[in-house]
């Protein structure tokens, strides 16, 4: 009997180890998405603004990690719903993390209810907040001041994102905190992607379009990206990273049902991306007469965003279709935003915002627990919170630091003025 | 006693979870090979054809996933040898997958004989078929129509590949379906790599060489790739992905013997690539007088292809030598194909076809179960099937859509004519 | 009772499988660092020297694998402290590996003391030695002969590195071989990073600076890298790979305590990189007036190097600070080395050497077992061994093969003279 108890404890520990390891591997894949956004965005801007977009991307990732450790994580996961929201600011988030990790005895005593390291959870969450902020950098590219952007990153990752994250995932009013199903968002079509897009939209509206993007009489000038292999690489990195993003959001893998669920999430994530790419490619061929690579890439990303709200209930064929509709929507949205003179150099608002909303609504198609009402409540409340708060913060930055580089700096490229170097000093010398 | 039964069931479930997770991680690494081929090929073509090769690569991956879901998977794994081959076309492959995933009770009852999620198997298989198709895109680069290529991808991934895949891995006549050892191909030197190369060869023969590649009197003109860092990156991505390709093909990791086997596969895969690279580098230094980077990269890939047929029986030193011979062969083969005026811009036919055959024959060196006769039967039958079917399909495409862009489009670059954009609009403006 | 024994054996096997799989995944991430160094260095050199630095990187990785298999591994891990150091040269390292992998019975009998495959250990170790050698290639870039470099790689990876690796990790005089704590270096701030930097420094001193780097009167000319997106990509690859580098160095994950430890290592590794990046970026902004991207990237790498010696005892906030100090040090060191006219094109000596020392000393801050005396003994002895041996080897190479390309070759770029091709033939044609 004693021996059996000991064996049972060993199994519980082993399952905890597997779930923690799974969580860390999935988190590493999400961290890798930082490289995806970095490559995607640096491929889609002009050469003269490349070093700055690189700096923004690596800078925001680092800031996100630090701010989320300092206060974001404890705002988002205060432990209990009432009170305690800001408690970790005093402990700097850290004593909480390490001294609070689970003792083996407690894990065994929980009988498997405690099934992963708190630190692995922190790691997984911290790379999510970085993802949300990465969405912003592309939309405001080629004309925003570097330090204005990084300052905004401090606020978004340390406060704006965690608050709405708490609403859904930390036990707040959008979660099923009392056992009632409310807003459903499996891995963050809303909490992460639409959140990033809402912050980006607020920034773009205050920032204005790039010089030369829109001409008189509704004219839209294409400003092609300077390095499409990097954009394709970035998309494929994001595709890979998304297996971690969605696959890790199942949170557990250590029994047959959970392992099957993670496998289904992997398959559906992959199929939705494939569907989005193919349909965006076909639509661009029909509409524009050419197989527009950048639309195809955004189509794949749209498929990924679309399936993120619910990758677990669709059959793979349905996942493909949900992604395909995302791919169609993203092409329409990119064209429409340009008509509205909302200048988003990489299409981030369309991919993450418009398609994020589609993904949240599409939950109702396959998940019988979802209600359209709660999905809309979630969309509206998250969008309103993030957009309003971001607008305020951007506006304060605009009034103080200033948001936008000078016209001359924009013409010369922000690399020289902000970073003091060029991304490709030898390739563009002829110009 | 009841408690012991329950514990035993928990262990079976945990092992199932570990094997499924391992399968998914390995599959994600193979998916990453799509980025490897994309970078490799975009690095080895000229700037003016780069956007199109990117579009082909992301497009074929997506098409492969969709076609394999719709019909390929059920053709390749019909469940039983007689009948049922086409059954999943009616169910669209999907009901089969999800409703058919393993119940916990059935897994436990199987005593561990059912040890991974069906969906994880689908995920692993679907990235394999994409790999096979990726091989084709490089060989036909810089002169083929985009939509002709994508149409071929539909047929190869939905039908031609799955049929021969069934022969070996689905219980067909090349497999040891009745317990007799026949054709041995651990992870697909033949089923995946030589298959892709055979389809590519058929395409290249019907397509002809790029304008300017071959001059009068046996003259061969080098057409250098435009971005070698991307080619090197692609090779290293493939190297990493190959740990999943070969390591995952062990299918199981959850006991000491299996874990050791996966570790040996990792080591041998790595050593074979290293051997191939070093020997191709040395040979190119001796033969051409220079340390030809592109030959070294193809040497590493050749080492990887060579070990893929049998990464489990060689000692690491032998794996290094098998890879090294692959590296030597690939240099000889690339030079020879150019003499035969078979124009393969990236060397894919040599890497995956010629060295794939070498890998299949090399199984006999270290695996006492292998017979040269069955290895040759496998090589000849797979090659004949894929080459013949591909030739027919390419030929029909040639007669209908047309395979090749116009001479003017080829001169201007297919990026403009097919995709309506340039991959590097700022770097090549001076030309 | 028998049933219980059998179940207990199953659990031991399952834990062994999990630990081996974890080791292999971590090793694959470290292998991926080879791509990181390759991209980083190719981004920071000029276009005309790019193909050669790519060749060096893929070549050194392959050579490291082969040499470590042939003799390095058995020098570093001779099995017992006295005797046997060179025994595997006769067996070529290989029989040892495979025939010696653990039998299931022995694993079970060990009661879990034997917890991973020997081959998975070899795989993890072999990618470490490649990392050490990768550090050298950047420092000697743009002026060293390719084959001189590759010859040095043979000696460093086959002999110089393994000897000092043995001192610390193989049971040598710097390890706690008799239970006494001596020199502490968790994942290799000293054994890997400072080792690579010491070898690089010896090479740079004998090689001299690039033509035009230093002018009369203390003038330092910036020689900007040609492709900063690749440098950023390389940094992010290294960041990802470092989760394997540090995370895998825990060696075990299969119980609650170990899983928590690996999670903490992941978190601290990430936080240190973030701290290093942010502080290097801020310092460069204050000092140079611009947000220097290359300094920020080196700051992230410095953070990673700094935490490598001890990622397990700091709280995450302390890890951030240790990394931040690394980021500050690297900026100061890069500027200082240029004042000393030690020409290191990528800053490798600063990142891996200076900050490696900082990391080793910083162990004393958080690990109560560490002593400053032993940390200094370790630093001095490893540095002295590697620097002296490397100096001798480089010197012999200089006297025989010659180290440096001719002045004309350096002016034309080493790509043409060493590799016979150009990395970007179309982008730099205008020059």
Are A187 and A101 within 8 A, CB to CB?
no
Q: Return the closest-CA partner of residue C419 out of A377, B222, A170.
A: B222
pLDDT at C428 over 90: no
Q: So what's the pLDDT on residue C100?
A: 63
Give the gap in angstroms from C-alpha A336 to the nearest C-alpha of chain C. 30
Average confidence (pLDDT) over A174-183:
91
Buried b (16+ CB within 10 A) or exposed e, A71-82: bbbbbbbbeeee
Q: Which residue has the tokens 């290592």?
A: C265
Confidence of residue B80 (pLDDT cuts 50, 70, 90): very low
Residue at token pair 């499924």: B20
What mean pLDDT is reported for chain A? 93
pTM equals: 0.97
Q: What angle do CA C362, C363, C364 make, to 5 degrees?
A: 85
Provide the b/e sequence for C377-407 (b: ≥16 CB within 10 Å): ebbebbbebbbebbbebbeebbeeeebbbee
Residue A380 CB: number of other CB atoms within 10 A? 11
Going by pLDDT thresholds of 50, 70 and 90, the confidence category of residue B429 is: low
Does the beta carbon of A226 lie under 8 angstroms from any beta carbon of chain B?
Answer: yes
Which of B17, B50, B94 is facing A228, going by the closest CB pair?
A: B50
| Closest Cα in chain B to C431 | B430
Q: Which of B226, B271, B275 lies closest to C424 in CB terms? A: B226
Q: Which residue of A has its CA nearest to C280?
A: A59
Is pLDDT of C197 > 60?
yes
pLDDT digits (tens, 9 = 90+) for A118-136: 889 999 999 999 999 999 9
Structure tokens at A54: 């690189």
Contact A229 B28 (CB under 8 A): no
Write the ipTM.
0.96
Residue of A nearest to C28 (CA): A25
> What is the DSSP secondary structure assignment for residue A216, as one 8-state letter?
G
Check C290 against A54: CB less than 8 A apart: no
Residue B209 DSSP symbol: P
List all residues of chain B from 23 to 62 with a beta carbon under 8 Å from chain A: 23-25, 27-28, 31-32, 34-35, 38-39, 42-43, 50-51, 54-55, 57-59, 61-62
pLDDT 10s digits, B301-352: 999 999 999 999 998 889 999 999 999 999 999 999 999 999 999 999 999 9
Q: SS3 for B224?
A: coil
C-alpha closest to that of A168 among A179, A183, A155: A183
Q: Do C22 and A20 touch (CB under 8 A)?
A: no
Q: Which residues of A touch B424 (CB under 8 A)?
A: 226-228
Set of chain A residues whose Cβ sits within 8 Å of the Cβ of C424: 427
What are residue A336's DSSP bridge partners? Answer: none
The answer to whether residues C358 and C308 touch, using CB atoms and an 8 Å cutoff, is no
Query: Which of C232, C260, C285 is facing A102, going by the closest CB pair?
Result: C260
Sign (positive/negative) of CA torsion C363, C368, C372, C374?
negative
Residue A88 has pLDDT above 90, yes or no: no
Question: What span, in angstroms and rounded, lies between the C-alpha atoms of C263 and A100?
Answer: 13
Residue from B26, B238, B240, B270 to probe the interface with C (highest C Cβ count within 10 Å): B270
pLDDT at B118 over 70: yes
pLDDT digits 0-9 by tens, B144-176: 999 999 999 999 999 999 999 999 999 899 999
* Cβ–Cβ under 8 Å, residues B13 and A256: yes
- Is the predicted pLDDT of residue A261 greater than 70, yes or no? yes
pLDDT classification of A156: cutoffs 50, 70, 90: very high
A323, A326, A327, A333 alpha-carbon torsion, rounded to 10°? -170
C353: left (phi over 0), alpha (psi -120 to 50) or beta: alpha
Q: By C-alpha distance, which of A373, A360, A416 is closest to A197?
A: A360
Query: Average per-residue pLDDT in chain C?
Result: 93
Pick the closest to residue B350 from B371, B334, B339, B326 (CA basis). B334
Q: What residues of A are in contact with residue B17 (Cβ under 8 Å)?
A: 15, 18, 253-256, 258-259
Instruction: Please check the confidence at residue B90 and state whether its pLDDT lies above 70.
Output: no
Statement: residue B133 has pLDDT above 90: yes
Pick the residue of A1, A16, A24, A64 with the most C CBs within 10 A to test the interface with C by mutation: A24
Contacts of A7 in chain C (CB under 8 A): 4, 7-8, 11
- pLDDT computed for residue A429 by the predictor: 60
H or E element: which one contains C154? helix C146-155
Choosing among B33, B224, B228, which should be mutated to test the C contact, i.e. which has the most C CBs within 10 A? Answer: B228
CB atoms within 10 A of CB B411: 11
Helix (H, G, I), strand (E, B), or coil: what is residue A409? helix
Query: What is the model's pLDDT at position A79?
Result: 67
Which tops the pLDDT comparison, C1 or C325? C325
A90-99, A231-240, B284-293, C303-312, range with the lowest pLDDT:
A90-99
Contact assignment for C424 to B228 by CB distance below 8 Å: yes
Cβ pair A292, B53 in contact under 8 A? no
Q: Tell me how far apart the alpha carbons of residues B237 and B244 are, in angstroms, rounded to a whole number.
A: 11
Strand-pairing partners, residue A214, are A220
**Residue A23 C-alpha, separation from nearest chain C C-alpha, in angstroms:** 9
CB-CB neighbors (< 8 A) of C39 in chain B: 229, 233
Closest Cβ–Cβ partner in A419, A422, A426 for C291:
A419
Max Cα separation, chain A?
84
Confidence of residue A356 (pLDDT cuts 50, 70, 90): very high
Could B61 and A274 be called an inter-chain contact, meaning their C-beta atoms sit closer than 8 Å?
yes
% residues pLDDT > 90 (chain A): 87
**Distance (Å) from the alpha carbon of B373 to chain A's nearest alpha carbon:** 38
pLDDT tens-digit profile of A41-80? 999 999 999 999 999 999 999 999 999 988 898 889 876 4
Confidence of residue B280 (pLDDT cuts 50, 70, 90): very high
Count chain A–chain C contacts defined by CB atoms under 8 A.
216
Least confident window among B95-104, B245-254, B384-393, C234-243:
B95-104
Predicted local confidence at residue A134, as pLDDT: 96
Six-digit token string for C255: 């119980």
Q: Looking at the complex, does the CB of residue A66 fall below 8 Å from at least one CB of chain B?
A: no
- Structure token digits, residue B345: 């811009």
Tell me the residues of chain A between 90 and 109 that have a Cβ less than 8 Å away from chain C: 92-95, 97-98, 101-104, 107-108
What's the CA gap between B331 and B410, in Å, rounded? 28
Residues of C whose CB is below 8 A from B25: 25
Distance in angstroms (rounded) separating the CA atoms of residues A16 and A337: 47
Residue whose structure tokens are 């589609």: A358
pLDDT at residue A37 in the model: 98
DSSP, collapsed to helix, strand or coil, labels residue A214 as strand
User: Backbone phi, then psi, for C404, in 5-degree steps?
Assistant: -115, 140
User: Integer distance in angstroms from the first to the last C-alpha of chain C?
Assistant: 81
As given in the structure block, the two tokens for residue C211 are 């033509």
Helix C118-139 with C146-155: angle, nearest 10 deg: 140
Contact B158, B71 (CB under 8 A): yes
What subunits make at least 3 CB pairs under 8 angstroms with A? Answer: B, C
Q: Would you state the pLDDT for residue A218?
A: 86
- CA A36 to chain C, closest CA, distance in angstroms equals 9
For residue A284, the SS3 value is helix
Residue C431 has pLDDT above 80, yes or no: no
**Angle at the Cα of B271 (from B269 to B276), degrees rounded to 5?**
100
| Contact (CB<8Å) A39/C233 | yes
Mean pLDDT computed over C89-94: 44
Q: Which residues of C touch A413 (CB under 8 A)?
A: none
**How many residues does this entry show for chain B?**
431
Collapse the DSSP code of C144 into the 3-class scheme (helix H, G, I; strand E, B; otherwise coil) and give the result.
strand
Give how far C168 is from chain B: nearest CA, Å: 24
Which residues in chain C are contacts of B236 at CB distance < 8 A?
32, 34-35, 38, 58
3-state SS, B357-369, equals HHHHHHHHHHCCC
pLDDT the model gives residue B315: 87
Helix (H, G, I), strand (E, B) or coil at B220: strand
Query: Residues C299, C302, C308, C309: what is their CA dihedral angle, to the nearest 10 degrees?
Result: -130
CA-based nearest distance A253→chain C, Å: 13
Cβ-based neighbours of C194, under 8 Å, separated by 6 or more: C352, C353, C356, C357, C360, C379, C382, C383, C386
With 0-12 / 13-18 / 19 or more C-beta atoms within 10 angstroms meaning exposed / middle / buried, residue C222 is exposed
Interface of C with A in 273-302 (CB under 8 A): 273-275, 277-278, 281, 285, 288-294, 296-297, 300
Alpha-carbon distances, residue C279 vs B431, C272, C321, C325 (angstroms): 42, 11, 9, 8
Q: How far apart are the CA of C36 and the nearest CA of chain B, in angstroms?
A: 9
Q: What is the pLDDT of residue C218?
A: 86
pLDDT at C3 > cutoff 80: yes
Q: What pLDDT shows up at residue B81?
A: 33
Partners of B278 on chain C (C-beta within 8 Å) are 59, 62-63, 66
3-state secondary structure of A404: strand
The yes-or-no verdict on residue B88 having pLDDT over 60 is no
The CA distance from C84 to the nearest CA of chain A, in Å, is 36
Q: What is the model's pLDDT at position C343?
A: 97
How distant, in Å, are the alpha carbons of A172, A191, A326, A330, C230 from that of A353? Answer: 22, 11, 11, 10, 29
Give C214's strand partners. Answer: C220
CA of C343 vs chain A CAs: smallest distance (Å): 19
- In whole angstroms, what is the distance from residue A189 CA to residue A198 CA? 12
Q: Residue C102 gets which letter from DSSP?
A: P
Subunit contact B102:A281, Cβ cutoff 8 A: no
CB contact under 8 A, A8 and B13: no
Q: Which residues pair with A360 in a beta bridge?
A: none
Q: What is the mean pLDDT of residues C51-60?
A: 98
pLDDT band at C177 (very low <50, low <70, confident <90, very high): confident
The vertex-A352 CA angle with A347 and A353, nearest 5°, equals: 95
What number is the average pLDDT over the span C274-295?
A: 97
Are A208 and A399 within 8 A, CB to CB? no
Structure tokens belonging to residue C396? 């012999």
């Amino acid at each position: 009997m004693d021996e059996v108890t000991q064996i049972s404890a060993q199994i519980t520990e082993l399952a905890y180890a597997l779930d923690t390891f799974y969580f860390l591997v999935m988190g590493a894949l999400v961290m890798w998405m930082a490289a995806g956004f970095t490559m995607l965005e640096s491929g889609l801007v002009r050469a003269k603004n490349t070093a700055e977009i690189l700096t923004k991307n690596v800078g925001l990732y680092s800031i996100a990690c630090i701010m989320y450790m300092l206060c974001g994580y404890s705002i988002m996961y205060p432990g209990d719903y009432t009170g305690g929201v800001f408690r970790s600011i005093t402990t700097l988030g850290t004593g909480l993390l390490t001294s609070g990790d689970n003792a083996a005895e407690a894990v065994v005593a929980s009988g498997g209810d405690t099934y992963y390291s708190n630190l692995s959870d922190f790691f997984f969450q911290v790379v999510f907040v970085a993802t949300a902020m990465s969405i912003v950098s592309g939309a405001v590219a080629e004309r925003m001041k570097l330090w204005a952007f990084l300052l905004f990153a401090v606020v978004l990752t340390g406060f704006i994102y965690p608050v709405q994250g708490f609403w859904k995932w930390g036990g707040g009013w959008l979660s099923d905190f009392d056992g009632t199903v409310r807003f459903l968002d499996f891995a963050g079509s809303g909490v992460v992607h639409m959140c990033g897009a809402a912050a980006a939209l607020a920034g773009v509206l205050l920032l204005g379009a790039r010089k030369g993007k829109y001409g008189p009489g509704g004219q839209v000038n294409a400003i092609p990206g300077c390095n499409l292999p990097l954009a394709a690489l970035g998309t494929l990195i994001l595709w890979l990273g998304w297996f971690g993003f969605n696959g890790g959001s199942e949170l557990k893998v250590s029994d047959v049902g959970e392992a099957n669920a993670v496998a289904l999430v992997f398959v559906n994530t992959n199929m939705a991306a494939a569907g989005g790419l193919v349909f965006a490619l076909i639509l661009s061929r029909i509409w524009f007469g050419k197989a527009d690579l950048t639309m195809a890439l955004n189509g794949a990303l749209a498929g990924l965003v679309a399936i993120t709200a619910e990758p677990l209930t669709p059959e793979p064929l349905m996942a493909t279709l949900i992604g395909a509709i995302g791919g169609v929507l993203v092409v329409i949205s990119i064209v429409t935003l340009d008509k509205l003179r909302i200048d988003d150099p990489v299409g981030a608002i369309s991919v993450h915002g418009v398609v994020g909303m589609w993904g949240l609504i599409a939950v109702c198609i396959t998940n019988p627990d979802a209600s359209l009402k709660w999905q809309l409540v979630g969309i509206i409340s998250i969008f309103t919170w993030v957009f309003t708060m971001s607008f305020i913060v951007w506006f304060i930055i605009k009034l103080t630091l200033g948001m936008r580089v000078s016209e001359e700096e924009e013409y010369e490229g922000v690399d020289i003025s902000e970073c003091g170097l060029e991304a490709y000093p030898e390739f563009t010398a002829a110009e």
